[in-house]
Amino acid sequence: MSTLSTHVLDAVRGVPAVGIGVALHAGADQLDSATTDSDGRIGKLGSDLPPGTYRLVFDTGAYFAGQRAEAFFPEVTIAFVVAEERHYHVPLLLSPFAFSTYRGS
Protein backbone atom coordinates (compact mmCIF):
# COMPACT_ATOMS: atom_id res chain seq x y z
CA MET A 1 0.00 0.00 0.00
CA SER A 2 1.03 3.61 -0.59
CA THR A 3 1.03 6.77 1.52
CA LEU A 4 0.32 10.38 0.55
CA SER A 5 1.41 13.84 1.71
CA THR A 6 1.05 17.36 0.33
CA HIS A 7 2.53 20.82 0.75
CA VAL A 8 1.17 24.20 -0.39
CA LEU A 9 3.38 27.21 -1.04
CA ASP A 10 1.92 30.67 -1.54
CA ALA A 11 4.12 31.62 -4.50
CA VAL A 12 3.19 35.33 -4.40
CA ARG A 13 4.07 35.85 -0.75
CA GLY A 14 6.86 33.26 -0.74
CA VAL A 15 5.55 31.54 2.39
CA PRO A 16 3.79 28.29 3.28
CA ALA A 17 0.03 28.47 2.75
CA VAL A 18 -1.36 27.89 6.25
CA GLY A 19 -4.92 26.73 6.89
CA ILE A 20 -5.93 25.39 3.47
CA GLY A 21 -8.50 22.62 3.66
CA VAL A 22 -7.61 19.60 1.51
CA ALA A 23 -9.84 16.61 0.75
CA LEU A 24 -8.76 13.28 -0.73
CA HIS A 25 -11.23 11.57 -3.07
CA ALA A 26 -11.41 8.27 -4.93
CA GLY A 27 -14.26 8.31 -7.42
CA ALA A 28 -17.30 9.84 -5.71
CA ASP A 29 -16.02 8.97 -2.22
CA GLN A 30 -14.20 11.37 0.07
CA LEU A 31 -11.58 9.30 1.87
CA ASP A 32 -10.04 11.89 4.17
CA SER A 33 -9.56 15.60 4.78
CA ALA A 34 -7.11 17.77 6.69
CA THR A 35 -5.82 21.35 6.90
CA THR A 36 -2.33 22.55 6.07
CA ASP A 37 -0.20 23.25 9.15
CA SER A 38 2.09 26.17 9.98
CA ASP A 39 4.56 24.91 7.36
CA GLY A 40 1.83 24.50 4.70
CA ARG A 41 2.05 20.70 4.99
CA ILE A 42 -0.19 17.74 5.57
CA GLY A 43 2.02 14.81 6.48
CA LYS A 44 -0.51 12.08 5.80
CA LEU A 45 -3.81 11.96 3.94
CA GLY A 46 -5.80 8.76 3.85
CA SER A 47 -4.64 5.44 5.11
CA ASP A 48 -2.79 2.91 2.97
CA LEU A 49 -3.78 3.65 -0.64
CA PRO A 50 -4.21 0.78 -3.08
CA PRO A 51 -3.46 1.36 -6.78
CA GLY A 52 -6.00 3.63 -8.45
CA THR A 53 -6.90 7.17 -9.43
CA TYR A 54 -7.31 9.79 -6.71
CA ARG A 55 -8.06 13.51 -6.46
CA LEU A 56 -6.86 16.14 -4.04
CA VAL A 57 -9.22 19.12 -3.72
CA PHE A 58 -7.69 22.26 -2.19
CA ASP A 59 -10.08 24.92 -0.81
CA THR A 60 -8.14 27.86 -2.22
CA GLY A 61 -11.14 30.20 -2.27
CA ALA A 62 -11.43 30.25 1.52
CA TYR A 63 -7.66 30.73 1.84
CA PHE A 64 -7.60 33.81 -0.40
CA ALA A 65 -10.84 35.19 1.08
CA GLY A 66 -9.15 35.05 4.49
CA GLN A 67 -6.41 37.27 3.05
CA ARG A 68 -8.97 39.58 1.41
CA ALA A 69 -7.36 38.74 -1.92
CA GLU A 70 -9.22 38.42 -5.19
CA ALA A 71 -8.68 34.95 -6.69
CA PHE A 72 -9.76 33.22 -9.87
CA PHE A 73 -9.80 29.61 -8.62
CA PRO A 74 -12.20 28.82 -5.73
CA GLU A 75 -10.62 25.38 -5.57
CA VAL A 76 -7.80 23.46 -7.16
CA THR A 77 -8.30 19.80 -8.02
CA ILE A 78 -5.32 17.59 -8.79
CA ALA A 79 -5.97 14.09 -10.14
CA PHE A 80 -3.16 11.57 -9.90
CA VAL A 81 -2.52 7.83 -10.20
CA VAL A 82 -1.13 5.55 -7.52
CA ALA A 83 0.50 2.86 -9.63
CA GLU A 84 3.09 1.27 -7.38
CA GLU A 85 3.69 0.88 -3.68
CA ARG A 86 5.59 3.94 -2.47
CA HIS A 87 5.16 7.32 -0.80
CA TYR A 88 3.50 9.94 -3.01
CA HIS A 89 3.99 13.65 -2.37
CA VAL A 90 1.83 16.14 -4.31
CA PRO A 91 2.96 19.77 -3.82
CA LEU A 92 0.92 22.79 -4.91
CA LEU A 93 2.51 26.13 -5.85
CA LEU A 94 -0.29 28.66 -5.58
CA SER A 95 -1.09 32.24 -6.53
CA PRO A 96 -4.47 33.97 -6.87
CA PHE A 97 -4.52 33.51 -10.65
CA ALA A 98 -2.32 30.46 -11.32
CA PHE A 99 -1.13 27.20 -9.83
CA SER A 100 1.41 24.51 -10.58
CA THR A 101 2.08 21.02 -9.29
CA TYR A 102 4.42 18.10 -9.78
CA ARG A 103 5.12 14.64 -8.41
CA GLY A 104 7.37 15.28 -5.44
CA SER A 105 9.40 12.88 -3.40
H/E stretch holding 63: helix 60-66
Check whether 105 has a pLDDT greater than 90. no
* pTM exceeds cut of 0.85: yes
pLDDT, tens digit, 9 for 90 and up, residues 35-73:
999 999 999 999 899 999 999 999 999 999 999 999 999
